[in-house]
Amino acid sequence: MEKVGGEELKKQDGGRRSDAEVPSVTPLLPSILHQQTRTLIKYSLRKGKRKTVKAVVHRFLRLHCGLWLRRRAGYKKRLWKKNVRRRKRLREHVFCNKTQSKLLDKMTTSFWKRRTWYVNDPYQKYHDRTNIPW
């Protein structure tokens, strides 16, 4: 006889436990099988403050009105097999949508959200939303 959880159990098959005697691990499975998502977030080890994800800063441009600009996907890949119209379209910059912009704002600190002034900035007319022609 063996005691498990306050109950006496008989050993069967030469001392091995039967399936009914084995403690269940199903309550642990949801935490193990939980689907992980990458939405943010880096924190500093010392003070616990949010850190900027550097890939966002390198790949995107934030306008002062809150919109984010990006290049089209694949603009550097296998250009030899793409026709001229497609290559021209890939050179364009496009705006991110609202959900992407919110996510990118979370992934950066306030330092990257403040207004910057550059000499001969080609995006100067796009920084304020009122100058967009549409």
What pLDDT, in 10s, does the model give residues 3-53? Answer: 555 555 555 555 665 655 666 656 666 666 666 666 667 888 999 998 999
What pLDDT, in 10s, does the model give residues 88-126? Answer: 999 999 999 999 999 999 999 999 999 999 999 999 988
Q: What is the pTM of this model?
A: 0.65
CA distance to 85, 92, 94, 133, per residue, from 79 (Å): 11, 15, 19, 32
Burial class of 108 by CB neighbour count within 10 A (0 to 12, 13 to 18, 19+) = buried
**Side chain identity, residue 55:** A
**Given this model, what pLDDT does residue 101 score?**
94
Other beta carbons within 10 Å of 36: 4
